[in-house]
Amino acid sequence: MVQLMIIRHGETVENANNICQGQQHGCLSELGIRQARQLGVQLKEEPLDLVYSSDLQRTIDTANEILKFHPEMKLITDPLLRERSLTSWEGKAFPKNWSWDYLPEGAETNEDMLERAEQFIDKMLRLHDGQRVAAITHGGLIRAFWTVLANKPASEYFSWEVTKNTSVSRVELYADGRHRVVELNNVDHLDAETPGTMQHFS
């Protein structure tokens, strides 16, 4: 069994300005930095064996606030944890009146996202049985994780609540596939002045 914490990165400047990031790096906003620091303090006594992150800068910067309290660990970056590729939208404002039924040509599909989530879960079970792992990732992939963990089809991908910035979710992964969600989208570490934002993609 693997105890996995799934964490969304802090708010970015792009989040605050409705800019599509996708697989661009993004930059934590002042609020996002505060959120990440509060997350780090919350997890300072957390027993961890490994910390994984997407290889995009906004997750790396968030992960480093956790690692300040776990200096014996080195961050492991993994492109499986990246946000959805949104091709021609990236770096631009989201189109007006856009919907989930329309994404730019070449963007990753829901099926693509579920496949990446499944690959990461399989990797955790293969490499880290009996360990406690934190994975800092993005809102789009977190939805894919929930879809996979609930054994639902890709058509259910958008049925999940959007995750808040620096939210912490905990799951237990089992080799037989009977995974268990322990905690979902917890932002108790944020004070009233640093709420988690609710963008669709980050």
Nearest-angstrom CA–CA distance, 146 and 150: 6
Place of tokens 């980050």: 202
Annotated catalytic residue: which of 11, 83, 90, 108? Answer: 83
Nearest-angstrom CA–CA distance, 63 and 8: 10
Nearest-angstrom CA–CA distance, 115 and 145: 10
Structure tokens at 28: 């934590």
Per the annotation, the verdict on 9 as an active-site residue is yes
Annotated catalytic residue: which of 9, 138, 179, 189? Answer: 9
Nearest-angstrom CA–CA distance, 152 and 154: 7
User: Is the CB of residue 31 less than 8 Å from the CB of residue 11?
Assistant: yes
What's the chain's length in residues? Answer: 202
Active site positions, annotated: 9, 83
